[in-house]
A = this chain, B = another copy of it.
């Protein structure tokens, strides 16, 4: 299932792709609803047993997805609505978060806009652990504060260390009791880019995200509960090719011969129909990966104005965390 994992970091996409192909999805429960009239759609994918985990190539647990088409745009009201929705769903995953000692890890490369979500979220947090350590919880200066620390350790090419190693070390030394990891994700579909926020209590799977993380970050590896918040900011190049191929085959099927140069007696429509039937979505994707220039494996596809978008989205996530961890401020 390794390749499946690199294809999408969104449990929702995995579930959709699996059920499209297989018709049903054992071991997985899906619940969907609109969040009032905010325009935000909530999907909760619960992988309840090993069958479900194997089917989707993801760990057992809760995956809550907010689909918020206005996430990447600038409107203040929308951002407020999304912030509240994120906070509300995070509270479902960790009801007592404001009483916990929370470490937030901003995963990713601060220098590359699509990978900078985590570090930018960490930048905007209201950090209090050092104040509570110095003044105690009962001091005037710390009144109403939750306990938050943060680390944006950079990526392996910059540090030579796994992010998981650095976090595990910091956790052993500073003893938080909840880890929130924030990371950029890879999506399968252009339509989800910068519009979807996934929150899960499973942490981060090995190989997920934009970078080259080999080990996962979860309760098993760091020793405390882990909540992961991610937004897909890139699509992998093979997904683009595969999608376009599918559109081409559909177009060929509907439109008849595309070119007068085409002289085959069978005609392209029939051939396309057979070719389209010959591969399902997953097979076509894997084929595309195989056919692509190997150098493409280390590339990603991202919008030209990602620098602006990532700035706005990071504020939305950090404000949700701030409001949850410091509810009395």
Which A residues are within 8 Å of any B CB, using their own CB?
74, 109, 111-113, 115, 122-123, 126-131, 148-154, 156-162, 165-166, 168-174, 190-191, 193, 210-212, 235, 237, 240-241, 243-245, 247-248, 251, 258-259, 261-264, 266, 268, 270-271, 274-275, 277-279, 283, 287-288, 291-293, 295-296, 298-308
How would you classify the secondary structure of chain A's contact residues: helix, strand, loop or mixed? helix
Q: In whole angstroms, how far apart are the Cα atoms of A162 and B170 in the complex?
A: 10
Docked-complex contact B261 and A271, CB < 8 angstroms: no
Selected from B109, B190, B262, the residue in CB contact (under 8 A) with A307 is: B109
Q: In whole angstroms, how far apart are the Cα atoms of A149 and B162 in the complex?
A: 10
Copies of this chain, whole number? 4
Selected from B127, B148, B158, B193, the residue in CB contact (under 8 A) with A123 is: B158
Q: In whole angstroms, how far apart are the Cα atoms of A111 and B154 in the complex?
A: 15
Selected from B173, B210, B274, the residue in CB contact (under 8 A) with A262 is: B274
Q: In whole angstroms, how far apart are the Cα atoms of A300 and B251 in the complex?
A: 24
Q: In whole angstroms, how far apart are the Cα atoms of A211 and B305 in the complex?
A: 9
- Among A130, A251, A277, A304: residue with most chain B CB under 10 A: A304
30 contacts between A and B (CB under 8 A): A112-B113, A128-B160, A130-B156, A130-B159, A130-B160, A149-B160, A151-B153, A151-B166, A152-B154, A166-B170, A169-B169, A169-B174, A172-B172, A190-B293, A193-B295, A210-B304, A211-B304, A212-B304, A240-B241, A240-B296, A241-B245, A247-B292, A259-B279, A261-B279, A262-B275, A271-B271, A298-B305, A299-B301, A300-B301, A300-B304
